[in-house]
Amino acid sequence: MLHPIPGDEIVGYITRGRGVAVHTRMCPNVQNLMYQTKRRIAVEWVAARKPKFPVQLTIRGARPRRPSREITAVISGAGSNIHNLQSRP
């Protein structure tokens, strides 16, 4: 399941009984949900000075020599933290 992260283009949709659902504009579910244009709602990100939000990444590669070292260096260099890392051959 994909979740929008700050900076993604987003759209809102009024659900039946669950409030407003927010999806990325590229979400495959948006096409199915937007058939009822009356249920669309404008949504936007609230600007934050230093936004923090969890994301889940899945990275697949073609057997680089040291994938964990390279990936963690890029994430760290971007000022982000890694809370959990799993690696499989």
Taking residues 5-30, report their average pLDDT: 85
Residue 66 belongs to a domain: yes
Q: How does the average pLDDT of the chain come out, rounded?
A: 80
| Domain hosting residue 14, numbered range | 10-46+55-77
E strand segments, 15-68:
20-24, 40-41
- The residue among 50 and 79 whose pLDDT is bigger is 79
34 in a structural domain: yes
In the structure encoding, which two tokens stand for residue 88, read together? 């499989």
Q: What's the pLDDT at 53?
A: 74
The CA-based angle 66-61-55, given to 5 degrees, is: 95
Give the span between the Cα atoms of 3 and 74, in whole angstroms. 22
User: What is the mean predicted confidence (pLDDT) over 69-82?
Assistant: 86
Looking at the structure of the chain, the number of domains it has is 1
pLDDT in tens, 35-66: 677 888 889 988 766 667 777 888 877 766 66
* Residue 21 located in a structural domain: yes
